[in-house]
Chains A and B, each alone.
Chain A
C-alpha cells in the first residue's frame, strides 16, 4: 500500500500538484488518469523519488519515503519495478541482459538461477526466443513487455507504469493492460498505472484517481466512472466520438 498525504509540488512558482491525498491499494491496479498537464507524471515521479515533493509525505507500507535519506530510499527502491513510457531498456544490453540486470545488481544468484528467472519472466510476458535480440531489433509492444519483464524480475512489491499503452495499437495495448492486471493479482503487489487511455480505464481500473489541474478531483472504480455526474470527469471520459456514441446507446 502506498499512501500519499497532503502532497504539493510546484515548478517555477506554478503549482502542479495541490494537496494530494490518496491511497494506492495493495493487490489492486490503481490508475492515475487526467488530461495532459494535469500532474499525473509529476505525481508518479514524486512517488518513485525522481522528484521531491515540496510538502506532504509518501509512505510505502507505513515506511516514509519522501523524507528519508538517499540510502534508505535506495532500500525501498529495490522493491520497486518501473515501466517507463519509452521502455527505457538499456541499448547496449540484449533482452536477456536487460531482464537480468536487477538480478545481477541485487542478488547473489548463480548464472543458471538468473537465466531460469529471466526465462520465466519473459515467458510470463508472452515472449519467447528473443533473449539475444537487442532493443533496436524488437517492436514497441515487445519493448514494453521486456520492460515489464525487467520490472518484475526481482519480485517487486510495487509496480509503477507510466503510460504503458502510448504508441501501441489497441490490440497490443489490451495485451499489455491484461498483463499488468494479471501480474498485480498473481503477485499481490501494489500497481500504479499512469494513463489517459479510456480503454485501460475500463479494462483494468480497480481504483481510479482523476487529477484535474493539479488537484485530486475524483476517486472511484471502472464502474462508477461511467455513472459520474462530475462535469470535468465527464468531459474527460466522454471526450471522444466513440465514447459519446456509447453513452447515447
Chain B
C-alpha cells in the first residue's frame, strides 16, 4: 500500500492538519473487532471518502454536534416539555404501531416459510424453523428493518415538520421569544423515540414470531408443536438486550439526524421536500453503518 493510502488528510486547513494513519486504523479495527487482515477495508473506505470528508462531512458533523449541544440542555419548562413529549409519543410512536404490526407479521411469516422451504435434509429438525424465525426477528428484522421503516415514516415527519417551521419563521419566533428552539422542538422527539421505539421493537418481535407460527400452521409446512419447541430452544437472553441496544441507538439516529436536517434547512418549500428525503437516506445509511459496528462490538 502506498503512502497516500495510509496517510489520508481528514481535515486540512491553513493552520492545522489531522491525518489518519496506521495507528488510527489499527485502534479503530480493534475497537470494532476487525481482524488485521480486514483493516485495509477501513483504510479503503476512508481513502475513498476523504475528499468528501474534508468538504462536507466534517462540516455537517460539526454543525450536528453543535445542534445536539443546544438540544440536550435542561428544558425551559418541564410542564411544557411533558406536554410536547406526550404529543410526540402519539405522533412518532402510537401512530407507527399499525405499519410496524403489518410488516412484522408478514416478515415473520415469510422468514418461517423460506426457512421451511430451504430445509431439505431430514437430518435437520423442523424445530429449526421456529428457532430461525425467532433469531432473525430478534437479531435483525425487528431492530434494524423496523428501524429503517421508522426512518422513513418518523424521520420524514420530523424533518418536514421542523423544516416547515423554519421556512415559515416559526423557529425564529421561538428564538426571539427567548425559547431554545432546538431544545423545545428536537429533545421531545428524541426522548419519545428512545422511550417508545424499544416497545415497538418488542411488539414487533412478538408479532413476527406469531406471524411465523401462523404461516406454518396455515401452510402445514411445520407442525405447531415443532415451531413452538423451536422458538423456545437455545434462547440467549442477551440477544434481547442486543436488540434493545441497537434500537436505542437507531432511535437516536433517526430523531436527531432528521431533526438536524429540518432545523438547518435554508430556502423554501422545495427544500423542505429535499430535507425530508435526505432525512430518510442519511438515517438509513447511518443505521446500517452502526448496525455493523454494534454487531461487531456486541456479538463477535
Contact = CB atoms under 8 A, between A and B. Distances in A.
A233 B164 CA distance: 38
Contacts of A78: 177-178
A74 B165 CA distance: 20
* B interface bracket (residues with beta carbon within 8 Å of A): 10 to 19
Given A74-B178, A77-B177, A77-B178, A105 B77 contact: yes
Interface stretch (B42-50, B168-176, B203-211, B278-286): B168-176
Interface in B159-186: 164-165, 168-170, 172-173, 175-180
Nearest to A101: B177
B182 to A, nearest CB: 12
Interface in B44-100: 76-77, 79-80, 87
Nearest to B83: A104
Interface string A76-87: 011010101110
B71 to A, nearest CB: 14
Contacts of B164: 91
Nearest to B169: A88
A91 B167 CA distance: 12
Contact of B177 (A86, A91, A92, A105): A105
Contacts of A74: 178, 180
Nearest to B179: A105
A105 B173 contact: no
A106 interface: yes
B168 A77 contact: no
Contact of B172 (A50, A80, A104): A50
Contact of B170 (A48, A75, A85, A90): A90
A105 B176 contact: no
Contacts of A101: 177
Contact of A80 (B77, B79, B176): B176
A91 B174 CA distance: 13
Nearest to B91: A92
A49 interface: yes
Contacts of B172: 50, 84, 88
A102 interface: yes
Contacts of A89: 170
Contact of A88 (B76, B79, B173, B178): B173
Contacts of B165: 90-91
Contacts of A102: 177
A97 B178 CA distance: 17
A104 B174 CA distance: 13
Interface string A138-173: 000000000000000000000010000000000000
Interface string A101-128: 1101110000000000000000000000
Interface in B139-197: 164-165, 168-170, 172-173, 175-180
A88 B168 CA distance: 6
B86 to A, nearest CB: 13
Contacts of B178: 74-75, 77-78, 80, 105-106
A86 B169 contact: yes
- The CB with the most chain A CB atoms within 10 A, among B80, B165, B170, B180, is that of B170
Contacts of A80: 176-178
Contacts of A77: 175-178
Closest 5 CB pairs of A and B: A77-B178, A88-B173, A88-B169, A78-B178, A74-B178
Given A90-B170, A160-B176, 15 more contacts: A49-B176, A50-B175, A74-B178, A74-B180, A78-B178, A80-B176, A82-B173, A88-B169, A91-B164, A101-B177, A104-B77, A105-B77, A105-B178, A106-B77, A106-B178
20 contacts: A48-B176, A49-B175, A50-B172, A50-B176, A74-B178, A77-B177, A77-B178, A78-B178, A80-B176, A82-B177, A84-B169, A86-B169, A88-B168, A88-B170, A90-B170, A91-B170, A104-B77, A105-B76, A106-B77, A160-B176
